[in-house]
Structure 1
Amino acid sequence: MSVATITPAVWIGCLACYNAGALTGNWYEAATADEITPEKLHGHQTPHEELWVMDHEHLPIEGECSPHEAAKLARHLDEVDEHLLPAFLAWIGSGSYVLDGENLPDHGEFTDRYAGHWDSFEQYAHNLADETGMLSGIPEHIARYFNWQSWTDDLQHDYTVLDASEGGVYVLRDH
């Protein structure tokens, strides 16, 4: 499976123009949003001072923010391995993420909790049982009475299971 590159983008607008009834702005890569000045936005010298991110794509936030906040978050997302980024974004979107010292979603916590991308939680549970040898040594005529559904339902209480945009689910351990 190929992983599509996700490049966060922001629409930065001039607040003075907006307040005067004109929508002046442009799309930029979010990682460089804090480098945009009113002069760069307008293409010439201007007395306007305040810029604001009025729209965004591929940033796990709701609503508007400052260009500085958008750039800080985008650079933080750039540090995540590209193949893990969709799962990291889903974790953030779920609201079950943990913040680091910079008030950003913690990469280390994500890595510790992430149990992979699976077709279903049931597939993950069966794999976990196999890897841990949960039923090893139990004769087949007894093991076949094991209630997989009940065990899987109970096990799921210790995990966050998120729908994956490409199908299947992301599984994260709750600590």
Structure 2
Amino acid sequence: MKTFNPATDTITPRAWVGCLSCYNDGELVGHWYDAIDAANVLPQDIHGVPTDHEELWVMDHENIPTIPGSPEMDPLTATAWAEVIEAITPQWRGAYLAWIEDQWISTPVEAPGRDEFFGFFAGEYANFTDYADGIVCDTGMFIGVPDDVAQYFDLERYAADLAQGYTVIDTPDYNVWVFANH
């Protein structure tokens, strides 16, 4: 399994919160914030002075699942996503986000919590065959089977059959995340 490097692997949900009134007038006025703070952003934070523009909107984001049809959302939703994502161990936030998008989960209310996620998540491997090999070894599948019989076991075919019960998602560094289909 991959070792987490906090210097390079930190995944923090971020949101570009902007003034909707200014946007509707053809101006982009806003700033990037950690999404956990998006719901607390005030119009004067965006404008730098008190204003009568009251409606704020998240017009772009990073490390928040993309809602089908639009990357935009209100600041409360961005903060809700951040709360769900930040409950996951930093090492596995990338896997969590990939699984959320693969499962077409579109709201933080639908997103699995930490315990539920780790009930599905089997880990990161070089490929699915390595995962299947781990099952063969961990279960002692060949204990007591003579070597001259065990040599005919086709691990690739076993992995292909086993994969039917799993979701496998490519990682950015050319490994795979493995999730059990429950």
Give the TM-score normalised by structure 1.
0.92
**TM-superposed deviation, 1:76:** 1.5
Per-residue Cα deviation, 1:121-170 (whole angstroms, up to 9, x for no partner): 00110110110011211111111112222211110001111111123111
Residue 95 (structure 2) aligned to one of 47, 65, 87: 87
CA contact (8 A) 1:98 1:106 kept: no
CA contact (8 A) 1:99 1:105 kept: no
C-alpha distance in 1 between matches for 2:113 and 2:105: 8
Residues 99 and 142 of structure 1, relative CA distance in 2, 3 Å threshold: farther
Which runs of 5 or more structure 1 residues have no equivalent in the other structure? none
Residue 140 (structure 1) aligned to one of 120, 143, 147: 147
RMSD of aligned Cα (Å): 1.8
Aligned residue in 1 for 2:57: 52
C-alpha distance in 2 between matches for 1:96 and 1:35: 28
CA contact (8 A) 2:105 2:111 kept: no
C-alpha distance in 2 between matches for 1:95 and 1:5: 23
**TM-superposed deviation, 1:83:** 1.1
Aligned residue in 2 for 1:16: 21
Give the TM-score normalised by structure 2.
0.89
Q: Percent identity?
A: 39
C-alpha distance in 1 between matches for 2:135 and 2:33: 43
**TM-superposed deviation, 1:112:** 0.8
Which runs of 5 or more structure 2 residues have no equivalent in the other structure? none
The answer to whether the aligner puts 1:72 opposite 2:72 as a matched pair is: no
CA contact (8 A) 1:120 1:168 kept: yes
C-alpha distance in 2 between matches for 1:96 and 1:115: 19
C-alpha distance in 2 between matches for 1:85 and 1:16: 34
Residues 143 and 86 of structure 1, relative CA distance in 2, 3 Å threshold: same
Query: Number of matched residues?
Result: 174
CA contact (8 A) 1:98 1:105 kept: no
Residues 167 and 55 of structure 1, relative CA distance in 2, 3 Å threshold: same
CA contact (8 A) 2:16 2:61 kept: yes
**TM-superposed deviation, 1:97:** 6.2
Deviates further, 124-133 or 160-169: 160-169
